């Protein structure tokens, strides 16, 4: 298998920035026509490694001397801007994470593909137009789209256009940096299928960067795992997924599998509790702009309820109205019509002016904990705020704050830190502690683990479940990751274009869905299992 | 979508314009003493003659009635008679407009060219000398009022060097206003372009292997357009103020000179007409800037 030299060989690559070494002595290789998945959590240095191969590192970062990079057995001058211009697009091409931001909003996509063909040395106009249409066909788009602007395309179509641009120079190596992370699940699955097909048809090698083990196993022949700037494990995909050797890889694999396997523990008798929150016939319209524009319906006649001590999961893609719904239940937004009953109080009847006791009894936790915590306050002050509102004397606040951080698995020492001194998972724990201080009876969780790394997600989810068992609050858990929502929820509601299309017990909805949209959503899931992976016969 | 937006924008512009006209009318009435008082001081009129005159001019009626009367005539193109010169106000305003437009447009173009050139050069090359120029022009416009620069300019170029006539030349006022304009937009423009050169779509352009000039023209420059337009809208207000002052200083017969003379002579019909024309002009220009923004940025159509 290794008689010929690999297509790409990287040796002793280190990258330094103002704060120190970010990529540490990385060596890896990608074989001809093979896919290497570079896996790691945020900040592990995987994107920087990819950017450095294109010579596209941000100006503040630099490759340390001593690195050796060879493409097709020729040295690659990755620090020479002028020389790299001839390499980019023609020998190595790259697809990035956020396709909307990566396409120029002022130019038609036809122009942007044309430019790539020009850079690849295609001289005549007619020839470029011919090849442009062929490229669009290759990525399963209609050539008629060439006249559109990026914002007129969906996220999936944008990423296909990015792929077409990358293919324009017929590169030997395609570097894909989290190309599906910004896309909804069903779209992401399609794009992965496309990349897999193109890679096989064109016998192109691919360096695929991802934090998602499921995506990696669907695509990769080989896997390299990165942690804190260094590669900790490198080998055939099937071997690593079946028998991870390093503790870090083991945790990564088991975290995902635990979520995928475990439906929620059955500990609840059915129907023992009265509903803590009931939403009936709720509709939210956003006003149109100006005087003559039509309003947009974000939530459309939604009815659901969640009893004390239980969890209702709400899944749906971005724009399906789930966060708007969460905002109304938490009292952050007024609906256009319909009612929310919190603990027996009808909010429509009070004119959406929450009685203070009800307001405190319903708390919300958001997706991005860094944004939800005032950066100028210490954890202790952040926690003292709700206590002050509840009328607790100053002396007792510290004591209660200590109890609160210990309940969410932090140490009293964390009380004197500022949010930026904590990790993402720790920050989200602070948000949970703050929400719990008001003794909520209803907890609204809006994508609370989506911004966290996989292993941390499992920790935070376990914490939420344990807290719920102890405190018996009702939970409205909003998410787009079906495994996460399925794991924590008793019941699941599926939202699509503002309406609930399916609702029922979690096992039933996610196990035997009846609505076609739910089936599409479920079909797009990717799981890390050795049997899925593309590792060829040599490792079986 | 385009029609809805145009309708919205037009409705806003009409409301703004109407509100400004009312405001100007009210301010003109709030000033103590009316036209007849001014004439009485000059012509030594008896109270009976004054009352007679007020009735003739319609000044004894309610302000609302006067306003409706004035608006109806103004819409028909009749802005009344100048009290000092006895000429139709509409003619006087129409004669003054081209001078003011030429001065404003000229200095706007000079300012835009200077700011864009400096900002793009500094952002693309990362040159420290050019960045210092950006700062210098910016400081100049903050620190030196246009009329100061005007006085010094006349002293230097007209009196000492004798290159330009003291009165009636456009060269100095256009240059002075142009630099003032450039100074107000060049700094944010430079920041914007520096950020844009780190934007994801510029990185994509580099990843395609494009040459630097293509990246500058097609990927960097359009990014700066909305900011340039938005800033230009803001700058226009100070541009109009600057135009009015410099007209007076350089003896150019535009709206500024007209307004100043009207104030000096208490020529209320002229003053009111000039103020209304300037205000409506600003509303119109801001509307056009917004329209242009939409043509350049296809995303705003949504």
Q: State chain B's mean pLDDT as an integer.
A: 84
Contacts of A2 (CB under 8 A, 6+ apart): A31
Please tell me the distance in Å from B206's CA to the nearest CA on chain A: 8
Domain containing residue A28: CATH number? 3.40.50.300
Q: In chain A, positions 65-94, which contact chain B (CB-CB < 8 Å)?
A: 85-90, 93-94
Tell me which residue in B203, B219, B296 faces A56 most closely, judged by beta carbons: B203
Q: Looking at residues B7-17, what average pLDDT do you find?
A: 87
Task: Tell me, yes or no, whether A474 and A354 share the same domain.
Answer: yes
Query: Of B217, B237, B253, which residue sits at a domain end?
Result: B253
Q: Looking at residues A15-43, what average pLDDT do you find?
A: 90
> pLDDT tens, A384-413?
888 887 788 888 888 889 999 999 999 998
- Structure tokens, A222: 């080989």
In a domain, B56, yes or no: yes
CA atoms within 13 A on the CB side of A520: 16
Nearest residue in B to A103, CA atom: B201
Per the model's pLDDT, the better-predicted residue between A535 and A483 turns out to be: A483
Asked if A119 lies within 8 A of B297 by C-beta distance, the reply is no
Asked if A105 lies within 8 A of B5 by C-beta distance, the reply is no
pLDDT score, position B85: 81
- A289 in B contact zone (CB under 8 Å): yes
Task: Tell me, yes or no, whether B205 and B70 share the same domain.
Answer: no
Residues of A in contact with B200 (CB under 8 A): 96, 98, 101-102
User: What is the total count of domains within chain A?
Assistant: 2
In a domain, B292, yes or no: no
Q: State chain A's mean pLDDT as an integer.
A: 87
Q: What is the separation, in whole angstroms, between the first and last Cα of chain A?
A: 14
Q: Evaluate if residue A27 carries a pLDDT over 90.
A: yes
Task: Tell me, yes or no, whether B111 and B69 share the same domain.
Answer: no
- Among B14, B204, B292, the strongest candidate for a mutation testing the A interface, having the largest count of A CBs within 10 A, is B204
Dihedrals φ, ψ of A497, to 5°? 50, 45
Task: Tell me, yes or no, whether A160 and A307 share the same domain.
Answer: no
Task: Tell me, yes or no, whether B135 and B215 share the same domain.
Answer: yes
Asked if B214 lies within 8 A of A115 by C-beta distance, the reply is yes
Question: DSSP readout, A389-449?
Answer: HTT--HHHHHHHHHHHHHHTT--GGGGGS-GGGS-HHHHHHHHHHHHHTT--SEEEEESTT
Task: Tell me, yes or no, whether A234 and A86 share the same domain.
Answer: yes
**pLDDT band per the 50, 70, 90 thresholds, residue B126:** confident
Q: Tell me the pTM.
A: 0.70
pLDDT score, position A428: 92
Please tell me the distance in Å from A291's CA to the nearest CA on chain B: 6
pLDDT score, position A531: 52
Nearest residue in A to B225, CA atom: A106
pLDDT score, position A538: 40
Task: Tell me, yes or no, whether B244 and B209 share the same domain.
Answer: yes
Contact present, A321 and A498 (Cβ < 8 Å):
yes
Q: Evaluate if residue A536 carries a pLDDT over 60.
A: no
Asked if A151 lies within 8 A of B298 by C-beta distance, the reply is yes
Return the minimum-mean-pLDDT range out of A268-282, B191-205, B227-241. Answer: A268-282
In a domain, A532, yes or no: no
Task: Tell me, yes or no, whether B124 and B240 share the same domain.
Answer: yes
In a domain, A1, yes or no: no
Tell me which residue in B4, B11, B204 faces A103 most closely, judged by beta carbons: B204
Q: Looking at residues B139-160, what average pLDDT do you find?
A: 86
In a domain, B296, yes or no: no
> pLDDT tens, A102-134?
999 889 999 999 999 999 888 899 999 999 999
Question: DSSP readout, A128-185?
Answer: HHHHHHHHHHHTT--GGGGGS-GGGS-HHHHHHHHHHHHHTT--SEEEEESTTTTS-H
Please tell me the distance in Å from A86's CA to the nearest CA on chain B: 6
pLDDT score, position B166: 73
pLDDT score, position B156: 85
In a domain, B272, yes or no: no
Task: Tell me, yes or no, whether A103 and A24 share the same domain.
Answer: yes
- Cα separation, A379 vs A151, whole angstroms: 41
Contact present, A60 and A120 (Cβ < 8 Å):
no
Q: Evaluate if residue A539 carries a pLDDT over 70.
A: no
Q: Evaluate if residue A140 carries a pLDDT over 80.
A: yes
Tell me which residue in B8, B223, B296 faces A290 most closely, judged by beta carbons: B8
Task: Tell me, yes or no, whether B117 and B66 share the same domain.
Answer: no
**pLDDT band per the 50, 70, 90 thresholds, residue A262:** low
Per the model's pLDDT, the better-predicted residue between A134 and B234 turns out to be: A134
Residues of B in contact with A152 (CB under 8 A): 298
In a domain, A270, yes or no: no
Task: Tell me, yes or no, whether A111 and A42 share the same domain.
Answer: yes
In a domain, A401, yes or no: yes
In a domain, B301, yes or no: no
Task: Tell me, yes or no, whether A169 and A236 share the same domain.
Answer: yes
- Cα separation, A127 vs A130, whole angstroms: 5
In a domain, B84, yes or no: no
Instruction: List residues of chain B with CB under 8 Å from any CB of chain A.
Output: 4-5, 7-9, 11-12, 198-201, 203-211, 214, 218-219, 222-223, 225, 296-299, 302
pLDDT score, position A293: 67
Query: Of B43, B75, B107, which residue sits at a domain end?
Result: B75
Per the model's pLDDT, the better-predicted residue between A468 and B52 turns out to be: A468
Contact present, A340 and A278 (Cβ < 8 Å):
yes
Nearest residue in A to B224, CA atom: A106
Task: Tell me, yes or no, whether A238 and A362 share the same domain.
Answer: no
Nearest residue in B to A51, CA atom: B207
In a domain, A538, yes or no: no
Residues of A in contact with B227 (CB under 8 A): none
In a domain, A535, yes or no: no
Strand partners, A88: A92
Q: Evaluate if residue A90 carries a pLDDT over 80.
A: yes
Query: Of B253, B273, B295, which residue sits at a domain end?
Result: B253
Asked if B219 lies within 8 A of A104 by C-beta distance, the reply is yes
Please tell me the distance in Å from A237's CA to the nearest CA on chain B: 29
User: What is the total count of domains within chain B?
Assistant: 2
Print the domain residue range for A71.
8-261
Task: Tell me, yes or no, whether A335 and A398 share the same domain.
Answer: yes
CA dist B252 → A187, A372, B155, B258 (Å): 65, 58, 17, 10
Task: Tell me, yes or no, whether B123 and B231 share the same domain.
Answer: yes
Query: Of A204, A237, A261, which residue sits at a domain end?
Result: A261
Q: Evaluate if residue B302 carries a pLDDT over 70.
A: no
Q: Evaluate if residue A347 carries a pLDDT over 90.
A: no
Share of chain B above pLDDT 90, in %: 9
Task: Tell me, yes or no, whether A21 and A83 share the same domain.
Answer: yes
Nearest residue in A to B293, CA atom: A106
- Structure tokens, A217: 């196993």
Highest mean pLDDT among A197-211, A258-272, B229-243: A197-211
**pLDDT band per the 50, 70, 90 thresholds, residue B154:** confident
Asked if B298 lies within 8 A of A98 by C-beta distance, the reply is no
Task: Tell me, yes or no, whether B25 and B69 share the same domain.
Answer: yes
Task: Tell me, yes or no, whether B117 and B199 share the same domain.
Answer: yes
pLDDT score, position A432: 93
Task: Tell me, yes or no, whether A117 and A215 share the same domain.
Answer: yes
Tell me which residue in B12, B208, B297 faces A165 most closely, judged by beta carbons: B208
The closest of A330, A443, A436 to A387, measured between CA atoms, is: A436
In a domain, B92, yes or no: no
Question: DSSP readout, B18-83?
Answer: HHHHHHHHHHHHHSSS-HHHHHHHHH---HHHHHHHHHHHTTTS-HHHHHHHHHHHHHTT---B-T
**pLDDT band per the 50, 70, 90 thresholds, residue B213:** confident
In a domain, B276, yes or no: no
Task: Tell me, yes or no, whether B20 and B116 share the same domain.
Answer: no
- A290 in B contact zone (CB under 8 Å): yes
Task: Tell me, yes or no, whether B118 and B182 share the same domain.
Answer: yes
What ipTM is given for this predicted complex?
A: 0.73
- Cα separation, A483 vs B198, whole angstroms: 36
In a domain, A121, yes or no: yes
Task: Tell me, yes or no, whether A106 and A188 share the same domain.
Answer: yes
Contacts of A440 (CB under 8 A, 6+ apart): A360, A361, A362, A363, A473
Domain containing residue B230: CATH number? 1.10.3720.10
Print the domain residue range for B51.
2-75
**pLDDT band per the 50, 70, 90 thresholds, residue A269:** very low
Task: Tell me, yes or no, whether A244 and A187 share the same domain.
Answer: yes
Return the minimum-mean-pLDDT range out of A39-43, A185-189, A218-222, A267-271. Answer: A267-271
Q: Evaluate if residue A527 carries a pLDDT over 70.
A: no
In a domain, A514, yes or no: yes
- Structure tokens, A407: 């309940």
- A392 in B contact zone (CB under 8 Å): no
Task: Tell me, yes or no, whether B119 and B238 share the same domain.
Answer: yes
Tell me which residue in A96, A102, A151 faces B302 most closely, judged by beta carbons: A151
CA atoms within 13 A on the CB side of A59: 6
Share of chain A above pLDDT 70, in %: 93
pLDDT score, position A528: 57
């Amino acid at each position: 298998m290794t008689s010929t030299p690999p297509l790409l060989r990287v040796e002793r690559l280190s990258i330094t920035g103002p704060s120190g070494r970010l990529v540490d002595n990385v060596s890896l290789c990608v074989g001809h026509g093979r896919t290497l998945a570079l896996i790691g959590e945020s900040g592990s240095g995987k994107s920087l490694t990819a950017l450095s191969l294109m010579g596209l590192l941000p100006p503040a970062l630099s490759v340390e001397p001593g690195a050796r990079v060879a493409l097709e057995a020729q040295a690659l001058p990755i620090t020479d801007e002028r020389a790299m211009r001839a390499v980019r697009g023609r020998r190595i091409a790259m697809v990035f994470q956020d396709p909307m931001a990566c396409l120029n909003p002022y130019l038609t996509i036809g122009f942007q593909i044309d430019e790539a063909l020009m850079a690849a040395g295609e001289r005549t106009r007619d020839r470029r137009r011919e090849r442009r249409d062929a490229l669009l066909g290759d990525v399963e788009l209609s050539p008629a789209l060439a006249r559109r602007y990026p914002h007129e395309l969906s996220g999936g179509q944008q990423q296909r256009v990015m792929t077409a641009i990358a293919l324009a120079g017929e590169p030997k190596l395609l570097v894909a940096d989290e190309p599906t992370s910004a896309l909804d699940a069903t779209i992401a699955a399609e794009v992965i299928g496309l990349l897999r097909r193109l890679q096989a048809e064109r016998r192109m090698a691919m360096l695929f960067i991802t934090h998602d083990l499921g995506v990696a196993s669907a695509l990769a022949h080989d896997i390299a795992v990165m942690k804190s700037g260094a590669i900790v494990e490198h080998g055939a995909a099937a071997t690593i997924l079946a028998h991870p050797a390093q503790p870090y890889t083991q945790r990564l694999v088991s975290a995902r599998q635990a979520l995928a396997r475990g439906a929620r523990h059955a500990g609840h008798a059915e129907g023992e509790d009265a509903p803590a929150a009931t939403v009936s016939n709720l509709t939210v319209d956003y006003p149109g702009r100006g005087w003559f524009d039509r309003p947009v319906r974000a939530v459309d006649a939604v009815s659901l309820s969640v009893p004390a001590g239980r969890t209702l999961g709400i899944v749906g893609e971005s724009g399906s109205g789930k966060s708007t719904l969460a905002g109304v239940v938490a009292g952050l937004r007024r609906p256009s019509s319909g009612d929310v009953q919190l603990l027996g109080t009808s909010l429509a009847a009070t004119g959406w002016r929450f009685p203070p006791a009800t307001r405190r009894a319903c708390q919300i936790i958001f997706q991005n904990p860094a944004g939800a915590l005032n950066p100028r306050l210490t954890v202790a002050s952040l926690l003292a705020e709700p206590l002050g509102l509840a009328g607790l004397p100053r002396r007792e606040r510290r004591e209660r704050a200590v109890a609160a951080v210990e309940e969410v698995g932090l140490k009293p020492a964390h009380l004197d830190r500022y949010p930026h001194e904590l990790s993402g998972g720790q920050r989200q724990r602070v948000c949970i502690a703050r929400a719990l201080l008001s003794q909520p009876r209803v907890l609204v969780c809006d994508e609370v683990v989506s911004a966290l790394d996989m292993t941390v997600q499992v920790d935070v989810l376990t914490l939420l479940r344990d807290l719920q068992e102890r405190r018996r609050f009702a939970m409205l858990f909003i998410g787009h990751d079906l495994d996460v929502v399925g794991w924590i929820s008793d019941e699941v509601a599926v939202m699509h274009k503002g309406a609930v299309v399916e609702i029922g017990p979690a096992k039933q909805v996610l196990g035997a869905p009846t609505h076609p949209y739910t089936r599409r959503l479920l079909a797009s899931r990717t799981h890390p299992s050795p049997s899925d992976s593309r590792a060829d016969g040599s490792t079986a | 979508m385009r029609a809805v937006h145009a309708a919205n924008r037009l409705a806003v512009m009409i409301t703004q314009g109407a509100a400004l006209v009312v405001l100007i009318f009210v301010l003109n009435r709030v000033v103590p003493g009316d036209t007849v008082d001014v004439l009485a001081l000059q012509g030594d009129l008896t109270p009976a003659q004054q009352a007679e005159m007020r009735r003739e001019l319609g000044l004894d009626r309610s302000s609302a009635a006067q306003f409706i009367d004035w608006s109806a005539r103004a819409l028909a193109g009749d802005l009344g008679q100048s009290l000092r010169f006895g000429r139709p106000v509409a003619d006087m305003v129409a004669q003054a407009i081209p001078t003011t437009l030429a001065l404003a447009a000229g200095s706007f173009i000079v300012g835009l060219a200077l700011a864009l050139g400096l900002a793009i050069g500094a952002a693309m090359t990362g040159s420290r000398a050019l960045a210092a120029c950006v700062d210098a022009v910016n400081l100049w416009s903050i620190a030196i009022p246009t009329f100061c620069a005007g006085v010094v300019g006349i002293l230097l170029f007209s009196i000492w060097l004798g290159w330009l006539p003291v009165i009636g030349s456009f060269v100095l006022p256009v240059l002075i206003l142009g630099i003032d304009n450039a100074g107000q937009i060049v700094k944010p423009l430079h920041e914007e372009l520096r950020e844009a050169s780190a934007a994801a779509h510029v990185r994509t352009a580099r990843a395609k292997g494009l040459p630097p000039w293509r990246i500058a023209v097609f990927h960097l420059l359009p990014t700066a357009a909305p900011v340039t337009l938005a800033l230009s809208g803001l700058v226009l207000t100070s541009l109009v103020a600057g135009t009015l002052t410099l007209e007076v200083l350089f003896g150019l017969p535009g709206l500024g000179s007209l307004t100043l003379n009207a104030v000096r002579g208490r020529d209320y019909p002229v003053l009111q007409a000039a103020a209304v024309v300037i205000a409506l002009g600003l509303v119109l220009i801001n509307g056009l800037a917004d329209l242009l923004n939409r043509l350049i940025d296809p995303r705003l159509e949504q």
